[in-house]
Amino acid sequence: MQNASHKSKHPPGLEAHNQTSPRSILIVDDDPDFSLIHKKILTQAGYRVLLAATGQECLNLIRREHPDLVLLDHGLPDGSGLDFCRRIKSDQDTSETHILFVSGHRTSPEEKARGLRSGADGYLVKPVHHEEFLASVESVLRIKATEEALAQSERVFRLIFEQNKDAIIWADDQGRIVLCNPAAERLFGYSMEELIGLHQTALHPADKLDHYREMFVQNINAQNSLNVDVDIVTRSGRIRHVNLVSTIIKVDGREINQGIFIDITDRRMADERIERESATNEALAHLARFLTLPGVSLAEIAWAVHAHALNLTGSAFGFVSSIDPETKDNVSHTLSAMMGGDLCQLKDRPIVFPRKDDRYPCLWGHSLNILVPFFTNSPSTHPASSGLPEGHVPLERFLSVPAIYDGQLYGQIALANPGRDYTDEDLKVVGALAHLFAMAVFRWRSEHSLQVSEEKYRMIVETANEGVRALDDQGRITFVNHKMADMLGYTPEEMIGRPVTDFIHPEEREDYHRRMADRRQGRKDEYDRRHLHKNGSTVWTRVSGTPLLDDEGRFAGSFAMLADIDYLKKTEEGLRERERFLLNIIDNIPYMVAIKEARDLRFVRFNKAGQELLGYSAEELLGRNDYDFFPREQADSFTAMDREVLEGGRMVEIDEEVVQTTRGTRLLHTKKIPILGRDGHPAFLLAIAEDITERKREEDELREAKERAEAASRAKSEFLANMSHEIRTPMNGVIGMAGLLLDTNLDLDQRRYALNIRTSAESLLCLINDILDFSKIEAGRLDMEAMDFNPGLLVEDCVAALSPLAREKGLEIASALETNLPSALHGDPGRLRQILINLVGNAIKFTEQGRIDIRVKVAENGPNSDHVRLLFSVRDTGIGIPEDKIPHLFDKFYQVDASSTRRFGGTGLGLAISKELAALMGGEISVSSLPGQGSEFRFTACFAGARKTECLAPAGLTNSLKNQKADERVNLAGRVLVAEDNAINQQVAVGILRKLGLTADVAADGLEVLAALETAPYDLVLMDVHMPEMDGLEATRRIRAGRFGPGLPIVAMTAAAMDQDRQKCLEAGMDDFVTKPVDPEQLARVLSRWLTAERKDSADRDRGPVARTPPPAGIVSDPECLPVFDRAELIRRCMDDETMADELLALFLRGLPDKLRSIKEHILAGDMTATHLMAHALKGTAMNASCKALGRTAWDLESSAKCGDVAKAQALVSDLETAVAEVVAVSNNAPGSSP
């Protein structure tokens, strides 16, 4: 035995020290929470605890302190716990140190095995239950104690081996017994001879051999020793409980497994009983301490009870629940893994077992129904069992105890499957826990209710908008809330304990003492009080005070709520000041301001202006109503209006008359406004009145003057229109006869006379045109056209037109266009041409020799990015203009030389019109001149970009007919009926027509026209508009309504030059338009559209009576084949004049909405006659504008209306609307269309 190698490594005297000193344990972990928690557990268990956070600190402490056990974390900041374990075990000075791994890692069995092979005594995985933790520590320390005992016993082994009361057996490495002591004989019932050679497995129950063998191998290989409680089998077959301390020792070079068997059978039974009682008492004590901790929730209480119940009974499953005081349902706060799925995940969400029909169902509810604890070791056969839900683990045994306190049910503890049968001892233990739990639930609910109540009132006090203050009977402050302290600029701590008078304004303290005396008498009151702020300012408060009484009803102090009304007091003062200010304003307003109360409409306020207006003082007015000042009938009217305003709740403006005491009847413009009270109903009526008597009189006079001016303007317009017509009519004859005269054989004097006649007539015609233009400008009725044009070609056109006149005077005329001049713009080329013709014409007129230069360039961008501004310049070498005359040059009717002997004629309107036209085009006009050297006129105009990709020459240029003879331009043929009441004009028209190769007859009025058409066929009617008996408009309507229908072309011939006159003609059904005086070329151009030889041949073939009016030319039988708008045809109809085509289209589109509206109104009224006429007119204008689809629809409507088919006409309305919409859409997108 001397060769046994088990020697102590402790310093001398440590063994004796260990008997009196607590075991020391070193915790090595970098988690401070884990270290502190388990230090507390170990300290409470009586151990001395050392702490280290790193492996190096661990090594240092082991060498210095020699701890009995090291709890080593697997992962440390400075290295692996496994490495430090090897270092400890490999160091001779520390190799005997016992190590227990405690790791939070998810470790595999192989990793655990590596830890144990490195020398550790065990391996725990975080989190570890404190009971398991302590048991593991104690187990290792027992091993250590055994080792120490063995080491000490080596010296006396032989002395005590034989005398040891505990059985000792030595076995070789094959497990066969080689030595035993007498105690072993007594324990096992075998003699020494029988034991020696016997395999040690024969001493253990056969059913536990595998378990023991595995446990032996694991522990012996890992720690060289084993200390475990096991069962043995005696020779007689009895089972005894022993504590086996098995150690591998070396004896004579051989490894011997020494086993010490301590019979603990009797002690174990006593220990189990004592341990259970101790554990129960400890659990109850722990729970009692835990349940008294502040802030513990009901769920935490249940989880603590749950843990102890499982631990004390060894149950695998269970739950702890409480009874809901309202529903009586059983609410489980804990539930171990009794069922699959998520049912066990209930730490944060309790599950409710409902009570049904005043009973709790199933086995778990049995004890709650009978209020008696019970257990069953055969749950499936128990009468209360109703089976298990799907997924529930099998119930092998079940125990349930109701938690009852003071006769009331508070909850339940239910347990299952302890791995053994439940006993009455288990029922006793769980019953104690249930009683404690019931008390805890009762206490928790009481405290919780009190806490909720206190918290509620504390929250009310602390969050109140008012200050709260409590005083003792001496007037010292015992409580203030934060609102009260903030109100005065203090903290609550600064105020509590001080006399309240420290915070009351000195002038208020006497009143405070008086009120405190009232408090002692039990009186409550409310009053306003001035308090002192910490910064010295005054704070107004409204105090509501009440006395406080003690339990015996004696005065103990006072309680008060204080509202901060400092702002209110200041606001009230501000409102009073504002009221004074507003009343002062109202009193000084120059209008009458009166306020009546809503109930009796009596005056409550009247300003000075109102008093002066009515002639009464405020004293006479206030408190009285309208009946005290006005006749009853008028007062009734005022009162009714006031009531209407009050009931309607809105402002009303009226004019009303009142009788003033000194100034008679006055007219007032009054605004009456209801003023609402707090309840939302009118409380007052505000009246603001202005005396408009004088203003009304002035407005009447102004209106009369305006009406007179408008009448004069209308008279002027009518005069101009009539004069234009009356002058144009004879002028037509003069110019026409002069033209015919010049076509005869005349001598030189006669030709000069005839030329003078024509020149004078044309000058007079220009004068008339200027007067008409200026009249339109003054009236704001001058319409600007919008179409595409080429500015360069327009300038060249003007130069070409005026070149003959310049050549007659021997002048040179030239134009210069800037290279970057746009080739296409969008605007009014006619008005631009008018300005240029005017300026160039003046230059020619006032220049005797030299030249006239016309320049055009781009001045700048226009007002928008897509606009351009052009600068036009007309420079001459004429007589010039005196400097003092230039400022008046653009005034109307102004002439530089206004003397009766002036050399140059003119009306003085040309430049004035040019100035206005330039302004209408977004530009301006100016002039610079030197007398005797010439003048330069400049003007600007703004135009948009062209709407189409290319622009033809302006009207009158590329297709100009000025240098061609009429018979060379067109091949006219046909018979024309001239409707004209003036004999001279008849001759002119007939003469021109005959020169054009046409046959012409004459009718003096509309009736003669109708008669002539019945007697002879005509290819065209040249219709004067103004004729006696029946005018040209009515005659046209009759023609269109008769058998000739739309087939007969009718061309208007009138001296009326306004656009509306042209529109009237087209609306009446006429096809074209020429103005008087008739220009032969213009007339030839118009007639060429209607009287070519081809058209005549076609008309001759088609002429004849028909039962139904055929479609106009160009209309096919299938409307869907017709184009909505044929621009190319329209341009051809206008003799390739795009400008004219665009003008005609724009004119047609402007009148289209009104035509459509009128047609719809006539159809709605069932007036087929009017519908027929309107449809006929629309058909003609649509075809003239090349809108063929619309023309076909209008023709269908005309035919239906002519037959009196109202239903068909009504059905065609939608078709007509669609056709109109298509025309508008297509024409807007067509090149050259106006916006």
CATH of the domain at 889: 3.30.565.10
Model pLDDT for residues 361-416, shown as the tens digit of each residue: 888 888 888 889 999 998 888 888 877 777 778 888 999 999 998 889 989 999 99
**Binning pLDDT at 50, 70 and 90, where does residue 955 land?**
very low
Helix, strand, or coil (residue 74): coil
Model pLDDT for residues 179-199, shown as the tens digit of each residue: 999 999 999 999 989 999 999
Model pLDDT for residues 408-454, shown as the tens digit of each residue: 998 999 999 998 889 888 899 898 888 988 888 888 887 777 766 66
Within-domain flag for 772: no
Q: Taking a C-beta distance cutoff of 8 angstroms, is the pair 300, 280 a contact?
A: no
Residue 1134 pLDDT: 55
| pLDDT > 80? residue 1190 | yes
Residue 1035 pLDDT: 93
Distance CA 170, CA 187 (A): 15
Within-domain flag for 1055: no
557 and 612 co-located in one domain? no
304 and 434 co-located in one domain? yes
Distance CA 167, CA 246 (A): 12
Maximum mean pLDDT: which of 598-612, 984-998, 1170-1184, 1186-1200: 598-612
Q: Which stretch of 96-110, 706-720, 841-855 has the lowest confidence by average pLDDT?
A: 706-720
Residue 951 pLDDT: 41
Distance CA 208, CA 201 (A): 10
Distance CA 1143, CA 787 (A): 8
Residue 945 pLDDT: 85
Residue 1079 pLDDT: 73
Domain containing residue 1166:
1120-1235
| pLDDT > 90? residue 496 | yes
Residue 341 pLDDT: 44
Cβ atoms within 10 Å of 1164's Cβ, excluding its own: 11
Model pLDDT for residues 234-276, shown as the tens digit of each residue: 999 888 889 888 888 888 778 888 889 988 887 777 777 777 7
Output DSSP code: residue 522.
Answer: T
293 and 442 co-located in one domain? yes
The tokens for 484 are: 């009260």
Within-domain flag for 1179: yes
CATH of the domain at 610: 3.30.450.20
CATH of the domain at 1187: 1.20.120.160
Phi, psi (deg, nearest 5) at residue 432: -60, -40
1196 and 1164 co-located in one domain? yes
410 and 498 co-located in one domain? no
Total count of residues recorded for the chain: 1235
Residue that has been written with the tokens 């040309």 in this structure:
910
648 and 546 co-located in one domain? no
How deeply is 202 buried, as exposed, middle or buried, from its count of CB atoms within 10 A (0-12, 13-18, 19+)?
A: middle
Distance CA 1235, CA 1223 (A): 14
| pLDDT > 90? residue 657 | no
Helix (H) or strand (E) holding 274: helix 265-291
Tell me the mean pLDDT in the region 718-735.
66
224 and 243 co-located in one domain? yes
Residue 13 pLDDT: 36
The tokens for 538 are: 């005054």
Final residue in a domain of this structure, among 263, 295, 313: 263
Final residue in a domain of this structure, among 154, 180, 210: 154
829 and 929 co-located in one domain? yes
Single-letter residue type at 1139: T
220 and 279 co-located in one domain? no
360 and 502 co-located in one domain? no
Tell me the mean pLDDT in the region 672-694.
87
| pLDDT > 80? residue 954 | no
Alpha helices in 1069-1167 (DSSP H): 1080-1088, 1093-1102, 1127-1133, 1138-1165
Distance CA 275, CA 271 (A): 6
**Binning pLDDT at 50, 70 and 90, where does residue 728 land?**
low
Distance CA 558, CA 224 (A): 81
User: Percent of the chain scored above 70 by pLDDT?
Assistant: 82
How deeply is 187 buried, as exposed, middle or buried, from its count of CB atoms within 10 A (0-12, 13-18, 19+)?
A: buried
**Binning pLDDT at 50, 70 and 90, where does residue 635 land?**
confident
Within-domain flag for 770: no
Within-domain flag for 1226: yes
Q: Taking a C-beta distance cutoff of 8 angstroms, is the pair 349, 333 a contact?
A: no
Maximum mean pLDDT: which of 619-633, 892-906, 1001-1015, 1122-1136: 619-633
The tokens for 432 are: 């104690």
Tell me the mean pLDDT in the region 154-177.
80
pTM: 0.33
| pLDDT > 80? residue 767 | no
| pLDDT > 80? residue 847 | yes
Maximum mean pLDDT: which of 344-348, 352-356, 362-366, 648-652: 648-652
**Binning pLDDT at 50, 70 and 90, where does residue 863 land?**
low
Residue 1059 pLDDT: 65
Alpha helices in 743-869 (DSSP H): 748-779, 791-808, 829-845
Residue 1180 pLDDT: 65
Residue 987 pLDDT: 62
Q: Which is it for the CA torsion 1209, 1211, 1214, 1219, positive or negative?
A: negative
Model pLDDT for residues 888-946, shown as the tens digit of each residue: 888 766 555 544 334 454 566 788 888 989 999 999 999 999 998 999 999 999 998 87
> For all residues of the chain together, what is the average pLDDT?
80
* Long-range CB contacts (within 8 A, 24+) of 357-363: 360/330, 361/386, 362/386, 363/395, 363/398, 363/400
CA-closest candidate to residue 1180, choices 1035, 1051, 1061, 1014? 1051
Number of domains in the chain: 7
Model pLDDT for residues 272-301, shown as the tens digit of each residue: 777 777 777 787 778 778 777 777 888 888
Tell me the mean pLDDT in the region 544-570.
87
Helix, strand, or coil (residue 234): coil
914 and 829 co-located in one domain? yes
Tell me the mean pLDDT in the region 1165-1171.
84
**Binning pLDDT at 50, 70 and 90, where does residue 1232 land?**
low
Final residue in a domain of this structure, among 945, 973, 1005: 945
Q: Which stretch of 68-77, 139-148, 1039-1048, 1126-1135 has the lowest confidence by average pLDDT?
A: 1126-1135
Residues paired with residue 247 on neighbouring β-strands, in sequence order: 225, 258
540 and 610 co-located in one domain? no
Within-domain flag for 1071: no
Within-domain flag for 346: yes
Within-domain flag for 4: no
